[in-house]
Amino acid sequence: MAYHPSAFLLAAQLLSLVFFAAFEGAEGSRVVLSSVGVLLLVLVVWVVKRSPGVNWIAWVLAMMAALLSLLSWRPCAPVLQVWGALLEAALYFYATGALIAYMLGDEIVTTDELFAAGATFTLIAWGFAYLYLVCQAWFPGSFSGGPSPEKARTFMELLFLSFTNLTATGISDIMPVSAPARVLVMLEQFAGIAYLALVVSRLVSLSLLRRGRGREDRDARP
């Protein structure tokens, strides 16, 4: 696995869901979840470093987002959490572009590129979840649903909305209410369809083509 950084990122993204579920609402949960978020930022930069992406852009976004995330622990600076979320969304989308360029950079499908396909999907989901968080802060009441429709949605709820929206399963009980929230939801729906149509379908086609060529080579042997 040491040669598959995308696998590390995918595993960390999925494992963080366990932390979000276990610590959400618990005392001191903000510190724990922020620490997990900083670790994910480091992994994202590591993956970008091994892709065609520009390292310094990823590092700047990650360091600024981590700094704002750490400073947002202070009760007097909640606005920093919003700007930190915006920077994290920017980093996730930048990493998404870097991984897509990595996967489309040649005609050979490697194991790491298959892991990258899964990791990229989670990056898109996380990026839109942070945008939903920013939208909710700038336009209160943008999302409704759940047991307390009038309350602000937690990050876990917005991440759940992002995954259900991106996968087109449509089982989320969180609904976009404001116009900006609905625009973000539509953009994510378009991004999900475009990703499956352009990237995943290409990887599948190249994998099948490689298998077919391998069969032909075996059949051609005396």
Please report, for the domain that includes residue 180, its CATH number: 1.10.287.70
Q: Could you report the per-residue pLDDT of 105-159, keeping only the tens digit for each?
A: 777 777 777 788 888 899 999 999 999 999 999 999 999 987 777 888 888 889 9
Helices vs strands, H then E, count in the chain: 8, 2
Q: Between 142 and 41, where is the model more confident?
A: 142
Beta bridge partners of 163: none
143 within 8 A of 118, measured Cβ to Cβ: no
In Å, how far from its chain's centre is CA 77? Answer: 25
Q: Could you report the per-residue pLDDT of 193-222, keeping only the tens digit for each?
A: 888 888 777 777 766 666 554 554 454 555
Q: Between 105 and 49, where is the model more confident?
A: 105
What is the spatial distance between Cα 11 and Cα 32, in angstroms, rounded to a whole number?
A: 18
Domain count of the fold of the chain: 1
Banded pLDDT at 35 (limits 50, 70, 90): low
Q: What is the pLDDT of residue 165?
A: 92
Q: What is the pLDDT of residue 2?
A: 46
C-alpha angle 60/61/66, rounded to 5°?
A: 100
Give the closest residue to 103 by CA, choosing from 1, 219, 200, 172: 200
- Give backbone dihedrals phi and psi of 116, rounded to 5 degrees, phi first: -65, -35
- Give the N- to C-terminal CA distance of the chain in Å, as an integer: 36
Mean of all residue pLDDT scores within the chain: 79
Q: What is the pLDDT of residue 38?
A: 73
Print the domain residue range for 161. 5-220
